[in-house]
Amino acid sequence: MIKISKDDDITFLNASVTDFADSLGYCEYKIPLSMKGIRPKPTQSLILGTKAHRAEEKYEKEHVEFEPISEEQIDDKEEDVEFARENIYSTLMMPFEFPANNVLLTLSGRIDKILRVDETLVVQDDKFAGRPQTYDNKTQPYPSQLLQVLAYLNSSYSSKRKPRAEDFFEMPHSQKQWQIRICDRKTRETYKVFSDYQDAFSLHYLHVSLQKFTTISLGMSKPEHHNSHQKCNACNLKSFCEHMI
Ligand code: SF4
């Protein structure tokens, strides 16, 4: 849910990475719905995807033994480190100075997998698809998938769900890379991987999207309609939405 609060002359806008990625990457009209506290009913596909995520986490716990990682190792950019799946929470904080408003946007999330290899900070996100073949002709991930991993890559990290200031850590690196694994939901095997390094273009895309998310949430701009009947038809909020076409 997207929440707004005020303290002196700062407006705090808090949301999940999913709220952000799903609205700016799929439909901006999801913002007013999320602000009203409307949540989609879990679809069968979401339930099965969540089960597959849990199974993957359990498999890793049973088959991989991770050495404890010290603060010195995290701080050393030349040290390769890998955290256990679903064990690291992300917090992206972005201040905006608008003429009439100082805003602090905070996006919280949980990362499927984060590691550092050869000075590269890598964030992986797994999508468990019932029919992974639907991705055969795609050369790029969906915008919502890309925004999600870009938000993770530009966050601070913590092993606590509700971190205090001293719980955050950074991962020094020379470059950043995102990987989106499309997996078969039944076998959990990887079917296809989208991957790239973060460049100036993708960082600009993230910044523009964060700003748009902020201005729409605060009523400073209006959502734009994608005008796609197909998207509305597949939308998990269509039964609550007066802008469905
Ligand atoms: S029904 Fe259509 S307009 Fe409404 S939130 Fe969903 S995709 Fe957007």
Tens-digit pLDDT profile for residues 190-207? 999 999 999 999 999 999
Nearest CA to ligand 1 atom 2: 232
Residue 197 belongs to domain spanning: 3-240
Query: Which pLDDT belongs to residue 63?
Result: 85
Span from the CA of 72 to the centroid of ligand 1 (angstroms): 47
Return the residue matching tokens 């790239």.
196
Tell me if 104 is assigned to some domain. Answer: yes
CATH number, residue 35: 3.90.320
* Shortest-distance atom of ligand 1 to CA 27: 8
Residue 131: left (phi > 0), alpha (psi -120 to 50), or beta?
A: beta
From the alpha carbon of 242, which atom of ligand 1 is closest?
A: 4
Phi-psi region of 127 (alpha: psi -120 to 50; beta: other; left: phi over 0): beta
Residues lining ligand 1, CB < 6 A?
A: 27, 29-30, 231-232, 235, 237-238, 241, 243-244
The pLDDT score that the predictor gives to residue 39 is: 85
8 belongs to a structural domain: yes
Whether residue 35 lies inside any domain: the answer is yes
CB 235 within 8 A of CB 244: yes
Regarding beta strands 101-111 and 88-98, do their DSSP bridges make them parallel or antiparallel, or are they unpaired? Answer: antiparallel
Per-residue pLDDT, averaged over 40-53, amounts to 81
Q: How confident is the model at residue 178 (pLDDT cuts 50, 70, 90)?
A: very high
Atom 7, ligand 1: residue with shortest CA distance: 232
Domain for residue 144, yes or no? Answer: yes
Q: Does residue 49 or residue 150 have the better pLDDT? A: 150
64, part of any domain:
yes
Q: Is residue 113 part of a domain?
A: yes
Among candidate residues 108, 112, 128, the one with its CA nearest the CA of residue 188: 128
Q: What is the pLDDT of residue 15?
A: 97
Q: What is the C-alpha separation between 203 and 225, in angstroms, rounded?
A: 24
The more confident residue out of 181 and 54 is: 181
Say how many Å lie between the CA of residue 56 and the centre of ligand 1.
32
- If one compares 195 and 40, the residue with the highest pLDDT of the two is 195
Higher pLDDT, 8 or 169: 169
Cβ contacts of 23 within 8 Å, gap of 6 or more: 29, 30, 31, 34, 213, 216
Instruction: Please check whether residue 129 is in contact with residue 121, taking contact to mean a CB–CB distance below 8 angstroms.
Output: no
Cβ atoms of 151 and 17 closer than 8 Å? yes
Ligand 1 mean position, distance from CA 95 (Å): 28
Which ligand 1 atom minimizes the distance to the CA of 232?
A: 2
Report the pLDDT value the prediction gives residue 52, as an integer from 0 to 100. Answer: 84
Tell me what pLDDT residue 168 has: 94
Distance from Cα 222 to the centre of ligand 1, integer Å: 14
* Predicted local confidence at residue 44, as pLDDT: 80
* pLDDT band (50, 70, 90) for residue 159: very high
Measure 204 CA to ligand 1 centroid, in angstroms. Answer: 25
pLDDT for the residue numbered 207:
98
> How many angstroms is it from 231 CA to the middle of ligand 1?
7
pLDDT > 90? residue 1: no
Work out how many domains the chain is built from and give that number: 1
Model pTM score: 0.94
CA distance 136 to 89: 31
Q: Closest ligand 1 atom, CA of 236?
A: 6
Residue 93 lies in a domain: yes
pLDDT at residue number 80? 95
Cα(29) to ligand 1 centroid in Å equals 6
Query: Mind listing the pLDDT tens digit for each residue in 19-34?
Result: 999 999 999 999 999 9
Average pLDDT, the chain: 94
Helix (H) or strand (E) holding 91, with range, is strand 88-98
- Quick check: is 245 in a domain? no
User: Residue 212 above 80 pLDDT?
Assistant: yes
Ligand 1 atom closest to residue 28's alpha carbon, by position in its atom list = 8
Ligand 1, from 36, 144, 243, 245: best to mutate by most atoms within 8 Å of Cβ?
243
